[in-house]
A and B are shown apart, each in its own frame.
Chain A
Amino acid sequence: MTATAANSAALAAKPQTLWSTAWRQFRRNRLAAACLWIIVIYVGIWLYAESVYWTAYLRDVVPSYKVTDFDARNAAPSLRHWLGTDFTGRDNVAQLIQGVRIAFEIAILSSAILIPLGFLLGALAGYFGRWVDNAIIWLYSVVDSVPSILSIISISYVVGRGMKGIVIGMGLVAWVGLCRLIRGEYLKHKQRAYVAAARALGAGHLTVMLRHIAPNVLHIVIITFTLLFPRFILTEVILSYLGVGIANEPSWGVMINDAKQRLWLGVWWELGGATAAMFFLVLALNIVGDALRDALDPKLKTAEGSAT
């Protein structure tokens, strides 16, 4: 028996999950690590903004960021108002902070619709193939053939404008990309011997699909989420710019849309502030998304063998 021989190849001291190796590689990318900190700061601001919003809501008072001061309209930046005030005298910094809240709420709620939708449809299409695949391809081709802005606008007219419209609209439109990726991964993994092994053990289709293959394609969801996040923010801005977006809450889109009308008065700080806030978050998310893709994908390739 050569048991000892087979074991003599040294294993590392601690078990290593593929996630931990990926995380180590991610950290090696300094820029991405810095951007991750930026995102963490935004998350902090978001949580603070939620607390401001909910305190006011529960006490049934007008939240501080909505307090108008007509004596200080369009005020220039000062110690009291770091980024000045808007046309009703509301503090721009407080508004921007609420903008972070709106951006995160939209991104997370839309994702809560589109990720399960895209993942499930992609998994079904890729795993079962045949008519299931044909039907799902047909479905996403139809959704994809209409410009997404138009679809979102029409959906938001049906379900109601504002936050609800944007979230449901984007959730029902933006799943196509994820669905395609997941379908492709399932097609690939379905052929792997480990799937045949699970089937040979008597594991059912649902078990194979969710317990065996899903963990192997989960990284796609994470990457897609980080890369879709900026798209949600930008879409919200565009929709608000078109006047079909958020109402009554200070989203970045609303702020930019309002501010552009006063740019000719020399009031640049409102527009500048909102644009910068958006810019840094979108940039950080994109860089982190790319770094995640690099860290998560090649690791998986080493785990792939030749196809049987």
Chain B
Amino acid sequence: MPLLEVKNLKVYFPIMGGVIRHKIGEVKAVDDVSFAIEPGETVGLVGESGSGKTTIGRAILRLLEPTAGEVRFDGHDITHASERELRPLRKQMQMVFQDPFGSLNPRMTIASIVGEAMKIHFRQMDRNARRDRIAELLRRVGLKPEHMNRYPHEFSGGQRQRIGIARALAVEPKFIVCDEPVSALDVSVQAAIINLLQDLQEQYRLTYLFIAHDLAVVEHISDRVLVMTQGKIVEAASSEEIYERPQHPYTQKLIAAVPKAF
């Protein structure tokens, strides 16, 4: 049974206008998209900005309300689940964000950013146990536990991305949506973060939906790749096939855009 199943997902955003601000049209950000992800698998989702790939990630986690369609996680239909019903599921699915600056609250310490999840989902945990766990998580993502009382602005982009990963891991999830986690980073830092994500996947048997615009990165990390443009998935194949036998013209264009090896 697939861990995640997306069926005919549609997310439309209304365009408001006119004097009394009424709906004058809609943007079809995600237009009838279906796919499934098996446990332990990494599925890459490529497309350029505005293609709707980030919207899919957010709709899966119900950070956005889908217009139509169905998202099933571990057999449960979560499309219509209430906030209360969603809460236990939030423990199993998490997200790592693109922007290492905007995704950490500048007024919170690293300890409270990473520890928040435990306050919500592991209520029985006492202060000391929580501190130990935060320290362990920071060590796991390659940060020093003694930095847990620091604030996000004191860290570099790569370090912040590690903090974001620690936050996602704090709930012990099964599934993580990685929304362009390396796009804003230098290539050298990018490699370190990708390796970290792969290490964590092996260690915790994680399942990833890896969203990016760079096909080289997606092909490296993914088992299967979905190519998305203008709200639709135009090609889905294993990462070898995508590279060796691209079918859709848009996929071919994406491959052509990757700088050739020198």
A194 touches B105 (CB 8 A): yes
B154 touches A197 (CB 8 A): no
Interface stretch, picked from B2-10, B26-34, B89-97, B126-134, is B89-97
Nearest CB of chain A from residue B137's CB, rounded to whole Å: 13
Whether B87 is near chain A, meaning CB under 8 Å from some CB there, is yes
A306 touches B102 (CB 8 A): yes
Nearest CB of chain A from residue B243's CB, rounded to whole Å: 27
Known: A199-B63, A303-B152. A5 touches B192 (CB 8 A): yes
B98 touches A215 (CB 8 A): no
A15 touches B154 (CB 8 A): yes
Whether A202 is near chain B, meaning CB under 8 Å from some CB there, is yes
B105 touches A212 (CB 8 A): yes
Nearest CB of chain B from residue A217's CB, rounded to whole Å: 10
Known: A11-B154, A17-B151, A305-B102. A193 touches B97 (CB 8 A): yes
Known: A6-B159, A306-B99. A197 touches B164 (CB 8 A): yes
Whether B260 is near chain A, meaning CB under 8 Å from some CB there, is no
Closest residue on chain B to residue A134 by CB atoms: B21
Nearest CB of chain B from residue A147's CB, rounded to whole Å: 28
Tally A-B pairs: CB < 8 A. 128
Contact with B along A285-306 (1 / 0, CB 8 A): 0000000000000001011111
Interface size class of A (residues with CB under 8 A): 35 or more
Interface size class of B (residues with CB under 8 A): 35 or more
Which chain A positions have C-beta within 8 A of B152? Answer: 303
Instruction: Tell me, in angstroms, the Cα distance from A86 to B88 when the chains sit together.
Output: 72
Closest residue on chain A to residue B156 by CB atoms: A9
Which chain A positions have C-beta within 8 A of B150? Answer: 11, 15-16
A2 touches B142 (CB 8 A): yes
Known: A6-B143, A18-B153, A200-B61. A215 touches B107 (CB 8 A): yes
Whether B106 is near chain A, meaning CB under 8 Å from some CB there, is yes
Q: Which of A1, A17, A303 contacts B101 (CB 8 A)?
A: A303
Known: A6-B192, A15-B151, A18-B151. A305 touches B99 (CB 8 A): yes
Instruction: Tell me, in angstroms, the Cα distance from A203 to B113 when the chains sit together.
Output: 12
A200 touches B95 (CB 8 A): yes
Whether B76 is near chain A, meaning CB under 8 Å from some CB there, is no
Which chain A positions have C-beta within 8 A of B91? Answer: 202
Instruction: Tell me, in angstroms, the Cα distance from A16 to B91 when the chains sit together.
Output: 31
B102 touches A192 (CB 8 A): yes
Contact with A along B171-204 (1 / 0, CB 8 A): 1000000010000100001001001100100000
Whether B209 is near chain A, meaning CB under 8 Å from some CB there, is no
Whether B23 is near chain A, meaning CB under 8 Å from some CB there, is no
Whether B116 is near chain A, meaning CB under 8 Å from some CB there, is yes
Interface residues of A in 256-302 (CB under 8 A from B): 300, 302
Whether B144 is near chain A, meaning CB under 8 Å from some CB there, is yes
- Identify the interface centre among A9, A16, A198, A305: most chain B CB within 10 Å of its CB: A305
Closest residue on chain A to residue B112 by CB atoms: A211
A16 touches B151 (CB 8 A): yes
Whether A308 is near chain B, meaning CB under 8 Å from some CB there, is yes
A196 touches B153 (CB 8 A): no
Which chain B positions have C-beta within 8 A of A302? Answer: 153
B99 touches A193 (CB 8 A): yes
B120 touches A203 (CB 8 A): yes
Whether A142 is near chain B, meaning CB under 8 Å from some CB there, is no
Instruction: Tell me, in angstroms, the Cα distance from A75 to B125 when the chains sit together.
Output: 73
Whether A58 is near chain B, meaning CB under 8 Å from some CB there, is no
Nearest CB of chain B from residue A18's CB, rounded to whole Å: 6
Nearest CB of chain A from residue B9's CB, rounded to whole Å: 18
A308 touches B99 (CB 8 A): yes
Instruction: Tell me, in angstroms, the Cα distance from A308 to B93 when the chains sit together.
Output: 20
A6 touches B158 (CB 8 A): yes
Given contacts A2-B192, A202-B87, A303-B101, 10 further A-B contacts (CB under 8 A): A1-B199, A7-B144, A15-B151, A192-B102, A196-B97, A197-B95, A201-B120, A306-B99, A307-B99, A308-B179
10 A-B residue pairings within 8 Å (CB atoms): A6-B162, A6-B192, A7-B142, A15-B150, A16-B151, A196-B58, A196-B63, A196-B95, A196-B103, A216-B105
